Amino acid sequence: MARPEEAVRLDSVSKIYDMGVVQVHALTGVELSIPAGDFVVFLGPSGSGKTTLMNIIGGLDSATTGRVFVHGRDVTALSQDDLTEYRRSDVGFIFQFFNLMPTLTARENVQLIADLVHSSEDAGALLESVGLGEYMDHFPSQLSGGEQQRVAIARALVKRPRLLLADEPTGNLDYETSREVLAVIRSMARENNATVIAVTHDESITEKGEMVVRLRSGRIVSVERKDD
């Protein structure tokens, strides 16, 4: 059987934050291969390195040593300009606190990002498909947490990223809303052929993942992949 295409490969990735007096070993010797199209969950207690690892994959932070390949491209070797272009065009980000612009409507929040890239989805159509057809002209303050996160999902997907990174996407939502938001992320990612990495400390989210990567103290302690 042909090997599935690899979305992400990490070769001995380490991250040390030099705090002057102390050095924080946020990641140590991380090795990982993520097949394209998977829904991957990074699970671990607070401080285990989940965000650091995701930010390194997304080009928001850099590894101290090791290499990061995304769709075969060595992200650790990119120039600053290429890294900016990579973050802008190739990766969609979803955050715990939604990070919407408060003075823009739902549609304008999504359109703002669509305008940054050469090829984008239609903002209105995407908002329809995350169930917000009737709320496009609402400001974030006029939307519930779950609705705001749906706007953020549409915003992340409008640039047609092949990689979707979600850091604690349900960390600010109640249980029922969390399940709905995860279902939206999953179905939207499938529809758009995107690989998803979702970071969480919530065990109940792991059932959603095709692949579950457990971290502890900056090291991967287990990788489980469900057979399909």
Binding site for Mg ion (CB under 5 A): 51
**16 or 104, CB closer to ligand ADP?**
16
Cα four-point dihedral sign 202, 204, 208, 209: positive
Question: What is the separation, in whole angstroms, between the first and last Cα of the chain?
Answer: 13
DSSP 144: -
Tokens 């295409």 sit on residue: 5
Cα four-point dihedral sign 4, 212, 91, 109: positive
CB 148 within 8 A of CB 96: no
Binding status of residue 119 toward ligand ADP by CB under 6 A: no
The helix (H) or strand (E) run that includes residue 154 is helix 145-157
Binding status of residue 96 toward ligand ADP by CB under 6 A: no
Stretch of 48-56, 79-87, 139-147, 204-212 contacting ligand ADP, by CB under 6 A: 48-56
**17 or 97, CB closer to ligand ADP?**
17
- Residue 225 phi, psi (nearest 5): -130, 125
CB of 122 to ligand ADP, least distance (A): 34
For residue 187, what are its two tokens?
Answer: 């179905």
**87 or 162, CB closer to ligand ADP?**
87
Binding status of residue 59 toward ligand ADP by CB under 6 A: no
**How many residues form the binding site for ligand ADP (CB under 6 A)?**
12
For residue 154, what are its two tokens?
Answer: 């549409």
**52 or 109, CB closer to Mg ion?**
52
**71 or 219, CB closer to ligand ADP?**
219
DSSP string computed for 105-122:
-HHHHHHHHHTTSSS---
Binding status of residue 46 toward ligand ADP by CB under 6 A: yes
17 binds, options ligand ADP, Mg ion, none, Cβ within 5 to 8 A by partner type: ligand ADP
What residues line the site for ligand ADP (CB under 6 A)? 17, 19, 24, 26, 44, 46-52
